[in-house]
Amino acid sequence: MNSIRATTTHTGLRVHAELDPGTYDTGIKVTDTDIDALPMHRHRFHGDWNYTLRPQHHDTVGVAEDPRPAGSLPSQSRAGGLRNPELTGMTEPALDELVDQLSQRLDELREHGRSQQRGGDRIRARGAGAKDKLTTADRVLATVLYLRKLGTRDLIAQLFGVNGSTITRAVRQIQPLLAGHGYTVRPSTARFRTPADVTAFLTNNSPTEIKSAC
């Protein structure tokens, strides 16, 4: 214990260690569902390793007590929270500029794909027929979040209220366009497993200086 407590670094790390004399059963399996049920706040830096485990649920997390179905985010988070620079790694004006740069080319590719499916020219007016599940801006945003490695494809899908295949198609559309424009999205140090983790992260982390993700 003294050796552990004596650990320090030149940047100021100090270690506190206590001996737990309790006895515990072995062979108990802890599932991901069990972990997700804990009142846990994951930290901004490598939240899969660094987190605070609270003795009980508290109001600032919010999602665990929320009456909405599991897997959904509050409407304000869906509308703007996912654009938070802490998640995207870029300022909101920079994200808007990226969307503007990719929109025209994305629309051209989408129209070309639909033309091939039809086997000819458009019959109905533009805008008629089935609507896209994600807007152009949402497809770009979802791709950025996915390439930031904030969570699995299924988590990103839950955040946007769509299925995983919709996110897969969005990434396949957007990622080549990012590469064509010379954008490389850098992975984040934050990791999330559930929408509740994302909401708690946005609630507990104030904006900081952001380095561009691209």
For residue 128, the model assigns a pLDDT of: 45
On whether residue 18 sits in a domain, the answer given is no
On whether residue 94 sits in a domain, the answer given is yes
The helix-helix angle for 92-118 and 136-147 (nearest 10°) equals 110
On whether residue 21 sits in a domain, the answer given is no
197: nearest Cα among 156, 161, 164, 142: 156
Q: Is the pLDDT of residue 107 over 80?
A: no
pTM higher than 0.75 = no
Find out whether 205 and 86 touch, Cβ atoms under 8 Å: yes
On whether residue 25 sits in a domain, the answer given is no
Is the pLDDT higher at 11 or at 64? 11
On whether residue 213 sits in a domain, the answer given is no
pLDDT confidence band for 214 (50 / 70 / 90) = low
Is the pLDDT higher at 210 or at 150? 150
Could you give the C-alpha distances from 1 to 40, 69, 113, 127, in angstroms and in order?
A: 27, 46, 64, 68
On whether residue 30 sits in a domain, the answer given is no
Is the pLDDT higher at 205 or at 50? 50
Find out whether 54 and 40 touch, Cβ atoms under 8 Å: yes
pLDDT confidence band for 118 (50 / 70 / 90) = low
On whether residue 199 sits in a domain, the answer given is yes
How many domains does the chain fold into? 1
What range defines the domain where residue 75 resides? 38-123+133-204
Kindly state the percentage of the chain with pLDDT values over 90.
Answer: 27
Query: H or E element: which one contains 109?
Result: helix 92-118
151 residue type, one letter: G
Q: Which two tokens stand for residue 192?
A: 């999330």
On whether residue 52 sits in a domain, the answer given is yes
Q: Which two tokens stand for residue 139?
A: 């497809």
Q: Is the pLDDT of residue 200 over 80?
A: yes
